[in-house]
Amino acid sequence: DQQVKQNSPSLSVQEGRISILNCDYTNSMFDYFLWYKKYPAEGPTFLISISSIKDKNEDGRFTVFLNKSAKHLSLHIVPSQPGDSAVYFCAASVNSGNTPLVFGKGTRLSVIA
């Protein structure tokens, strides 16, 4: 049973437009959420995170929104750039870290110039 779900395997967006990647979770004990970006032949790299006490966290072009009641989070990238083309993984953990991350299966984002 998948506790973290990314229902869109892929997404294509025009350069300069907004990319919205979605993630749903089922475990109400999750209190820390992260997004990782992965390029081919590389390991996932940390992008942005959010604690369950917040509903929004922003870092430059990247913003993560958390809706606890819906058990849903999303990553917004604006404006999207060709270099953003990668696989994006949503991850969650319990007890705010020091426990394993549970990952979604990823969404492949393609930003078209």
Cβ–Cβ < 8 Å for 39, 98 = no
Q: Which of 1, 41, 83, 113 binds other proteins (CB under 8 A)?
A: 41
Restricting to residues 42-81, name those near other proteins by CB under 8 A. 42-46, 49, 51
Q: Which is nearer to other proteins, 14 or 95 (CB)?
A: 95
Give contact residues for other proteins (rule: CB under 8 A).
32, 34, 36, 41-46, 49, 51, 89, 96-98, 100-106
